[in-house]
Structure 1
């Protein structure tokens, strides 16, 4: 069954990458479309291009992520854990997309792996190594810290931006802001590819390790290309439900505040991916930066009810996917080779 489980892991890893691009990458240009810096068609094409570049380059960091992230047991046990975690993350991703709620794919994946690892322990097998640190540094701390940093930073940066534009006619400010925002949208899409491409590539590398097909010292080219291709195809398919939530439903946004939110989001994501090798949720960063910039204006219009709903889904994501991963791993256990 090892070959069957490995094939299923590759299939669902590709599905996870597609859904990631479908849900998240188009959100990188949501504000640019909202403020008419880009048309929807140009925005999606821009996001797809830079997302592909970022995801292709992310393979260089995926080796580090796979070694510092989690370890799974070899054989069918490890492949079952990976498969259960992926399926739970995919199901939750589809559900949150249907609801138009921006949520973290990384948090869903780590939660699913944690639940599947617990199932392995219940059955008397080895669990997921490093899952405690992974849950702490990739779920709990980012859930608490990165949204706060994104919100506060974007809120504060509105003041110097508006001060610098105080003597400039509004139409000129809007025109310049839209040009900067178009560049910033590409930067966010590139950072998204770097950040989220690492996760899919790392999962595939763990599957290769579990099935005994690699020693983990190098990243196969097909892994990087599959990850980049599926993220890009997902982006081109366009998950506009979540983009509409970020761009139109959460807060009123003008071009100046839009470029502040996107520039700041891209800096946080690039710093996390390249400088700190820290997994930071693109969804959480863009969403909270948008709220921060949109809240700093004389007459803010923030949909507080929607914001509270989004926050509740963020808290529920690792909990629900862990439960789903646990159930799926238990259900798949009779199919494993002894």
Structure 2
């Protein structure tokens, strides 16, 4: 039974990575396609390639997350907690995709694991209460602060960018911004692969440890390749439902502000993964950067009804997946 559950966790982790890529490819390509910096086909292919590259270039964040993320109990209870948390995150990702709402897959995963861990305690199983403080300090707090930082940086970046282009004609300026935006779009996809690919790796490593396998030599190569390929394939087959929300419904984006948003969000993903070694939501950073850059215009173009819907989705992600994760664990508990 333990070997079966371990294999099922790996399968669920692959599904989580696939849905993550499927869901989040819109973040990478929305502004560049909206401003005609890239064609839709080229944008999606670039996003897929750089997501795979990002997952393969580094494992430092995965090692940190595997060490700090959660203290799982050994054996089938720990594997059950992961299964319920992953299934809850996958379900939330599909539902928000259907609703055209950008949401954080990391918040969904954290909420699902917290809920399933709490349900484990309710049925008399081992608990992960000691991990809650680490989850709050190392994961939840950065995720909550990153949208505010992204909004402020994107808003401020519009000022020097506009000043540098004061002598350029609109046609020439837009052409230069589109080129820069294409570069930053690729960089954002690379940062997304580094961030989100390593979260999947961390979950698989936690499952291996709970199953009694040793991973003292670091992240196994097959785990890294598996996570990267699942993320890249999901990106390649990603839908366009959320792109419409980010590129058209939320705010009016021109090449200058699209470039500013992608520059800020890609830089934050790299800093979070490689320097600070903290998880950041690509969805929240890109969405907040788009709103921040779009708000810095003479006439505000931010549409507050879609923005309110997105904020409600963000605030309800963790509680909703916690409830769903708890229900799923209770359903699985007779098998553990």
Residue 60 to residue 276, structure 1, CA distance change in 2 (3 Å): closer
Task: Determine the structure 2 residue equivalent to 1:312.
Answer: 312
Tell me by how many angstroms 1:30 deviates.
1.1
Paired with 1:214 and 1:46, the residues of 2 have a C-alpha distance of: 36
8 A contact 2:61–2:195 mirrored in 1? no
Aligned counterparts of 2:215 and 2:195: Cα–Cα separation in 1: 24
What residue number does 2:199 align with? 199
TM-score, normalising length: structure 1: 0.97
Compared with structure 1, are the counterparts of its residues 125 and 199 closer, same or farther at alpha carbon in structure 2 (3 Å cutoff)?
A: same
Partner of 2:331: 331
* Unaligned runs of at least 5 residues, structure 1: none
Corresponding residue of 2:138: 137
Q: Is the 8 A contact 1:58 1:197 kept in 2?
A: no
- Pair 1:240-2:240 in alignment: yes
Instruction: Compute the TM-score of the two structures, normalised by the length of structure 2.
Output: 0.97
Query: Secondary structure of 2:277's partner?
Result: coil
* 1:205-220 pair list within 5 angstroms: 205-220=205-220
| Structure-to-structure mapping, 1:45-84, within 5 angstroms | 45-84=45-84
Alignment length (residue pairs) = 335
* Residues 312-334 of structure 1: CA deviation (Å, up to 9, x unaligned): 01000000000011111111111
Q: 2:162 is matched with which residue?
A: 162
Aligned to 1:298: 298
Please provide the CA RMSD for this pair: 1.1
Question: 2: CA distance between counterparts of 1:220 and 1:37?
Answer: 38
Partner Cα separation in structure 2 for residue 94 and residue 216 of structure 1: 35
- Unaligned segments of structure 2, at least 5 residues: none
1:143 is displaced (CA, Å) by 4.2
User: Aligned partners of 2:20, 2:108: CA distance in 1, in Å?
Assistant: 11
Question: 1: distance between equivalents of 2:103 and 2:185?
Answer: 19
Aligned to 1:267: 267
Q: Does the CA-based 8 Å contact 2:61-2:278 persist in structure 1?
A: no
Partner-residue secondary structure (3-state), 1:213: coil
